[in-house]
């Protein structure tokens, strides 16, 4: 009986502390110009993602062979591509595609990473097996691993998500694992164990909540890397299947006409840079706020 009381007391104290921390974090965040600028860029990208059909006048897939490779004009803001498709629509839908892929990869990676990381840190037997596989996957240059997985699975958007998730899950798992190892040693966890709390409860009720802030920071960087890698894969012809508009696909088509149609490289290129810059600014700012002691850089 007494034990339960102790635990609840401790928990409510913890909760209060967390709430106070959160308030502080939000206030710091609002003052952090870097994070806010990043957030603003992301907000715009998200708005574009949701409203894509309303802000484009042309179908991004409608080919007009007779109007191919036209320079930017009032009718076609960003010009037309090598099949006469409206480039503005394609870039807008490309941003949508990138954001969806980036978000899905981040979500899947965070979920799998936290499960694998937590359990392998908690059970050392499992740790050996999982970490060797982890090391093996991390020994591949990421883009090669992604190309290889795409070759097996075939060119589909879902498969890009799967391939990139396989590439990045080890990264998250590693971060989660090492912070779990530190937390596991802390006295209150030791105490919980000694009073016989169930492992499930310790893992999910006490250790996992501590992962949230490093995980959020990590997630923004994974988001940025996923967008870059999706673009690279599609640029190499192994990503989002043509004719779907994706920023990498537009660059792939643009490479063959780079001497005559600069707009096919410049517009999707700027879109990629802005989104990843936004994510990195946001992530950097977040890290300063949530984890002021950590080193700068990755």
Residues of the shown chain interacting with another protein in the complex, contacts defined by CB under 8 A: 62-63, 65-66, 68-69, 82-83, 132-133, 135-137, 139-144, 147-149, 151-152, 154-155, 174, 178, 224, 228, 231-232, 235-237, 241-243, 251, 254-260, 262, 265-266, 269, 272-273, 276-277, 279-281, 284, 295-298
CB of 151 to another protein, least distance (A): 4
**3 state DSSP class of 282:** helix
Min CB(281)–another protein separation in Å: 6
200 near 117, Cβ under 8 Å?
no
Residue 164, φ and ψ in degrees, nearest 5: -70, -30
What 3-state class would DSSP assign to 229? helix
Spatial separation of the C-alpha atoms in residues 48 and 147, rounded to whole Å: 29
Residue with Cβ nearer another protein (133 or 216) = 133
Reading the block at residue 273, the tokens are 């840079």
Q: Using the minimum distance from each CB to another protein, give the nearer residue, 202 or 277.
A: 277
Contact 280, 224 (CB under 8 A): yes
Q: Are 172 and 117 in contact (CB under 8 A)?
A: yes
Smallest distance from another protein to CB 295, Å: 5
CB of 62 to another protein, least distance (A): 7
95 and 247 in contact (C-beta within 8 Å)? yes
Task: Tell me, rounded to whole angstroms, the distance of Cα 295 from its chain centroid.
Answer: 21
Residue 214 tokens read as 């490093």
CB of 200 to another protein, least distance (A): 25
The smaller minimum CB distance to another protein, of residues 53 and 136, is found at 136
Beta carbon nearer to another protein, 29 or 133:
133
Q: Is the peptide bond before 243 cis (omega within 30 degrees of 0)?
A: yes
Between 192 and 275, CB nearer to another protein: 275
- Of the pair 192, 226, the CB lying nearest another protein is at 226
Residue 254 CB, nearest approach to another protein (Å):
8
How many Å apart are CA 138 and CA 171, to the nearest integer? 8
């Amino acid at each position: 009986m007494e034990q339960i009381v102790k635990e609840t007391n401790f928990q409510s104290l913890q909760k209060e502390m967390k709430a106070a921390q959160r308030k502080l974090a939000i206030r710091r965040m609002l003052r952090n110009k870097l994070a806010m600028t990043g957030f603003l860029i992301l907000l715009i990208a998200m708005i574009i993602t949701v409203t894509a059909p309303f802000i484009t006048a042309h179908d991004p897939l409608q080919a007009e062979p007779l109007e191919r490779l036209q320079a930017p004009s009032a009718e076609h803001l960003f010009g037309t591509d090598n099949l006469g498709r409206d480039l503005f629509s394609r870039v807008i839908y490309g941003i949508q595609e990138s954001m969806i892929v980036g978000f899905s990869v981040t979500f899947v990676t965070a979920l799998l990473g936290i499960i694998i990381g937590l359990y392998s840190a908690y059970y050392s037997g499992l740790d050996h097996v999982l970490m060797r596989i982890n090391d093996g996957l991390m020994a591949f240059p990421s883009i090669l691993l992604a190309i290889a997985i795409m070759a097996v699975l075939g060119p589909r958007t879902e498969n890009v998500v799967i391939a990139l998730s396989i590439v990045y899950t080890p990264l998250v798992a590693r971060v989660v694992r090492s912070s779990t190892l530190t937390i596991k040693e802390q006295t209150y966890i030791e105490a919980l164990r000694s009073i016989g709390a169930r492992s499930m409860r310790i893992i999910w009720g006490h250790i996992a909540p501590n992962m949230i802030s490093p995980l959020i920071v990590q997630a923004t960087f994974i988001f940025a890397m996923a967008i870059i890698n999706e673009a690279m894969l599609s640029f190499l012809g192994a990503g989002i299947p043509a004719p779907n508009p994706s920023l990498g696909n537009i660059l792939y088509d643009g490479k063959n006409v780079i001497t005559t149609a600069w707009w096919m490289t410049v517009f999707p290129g700027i879109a990629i840079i802005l989104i990843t810059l936004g994510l990195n600014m946001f992530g950097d700012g977040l890290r300063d706020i949530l984890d002021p002691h950590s080193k700068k850089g990755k």
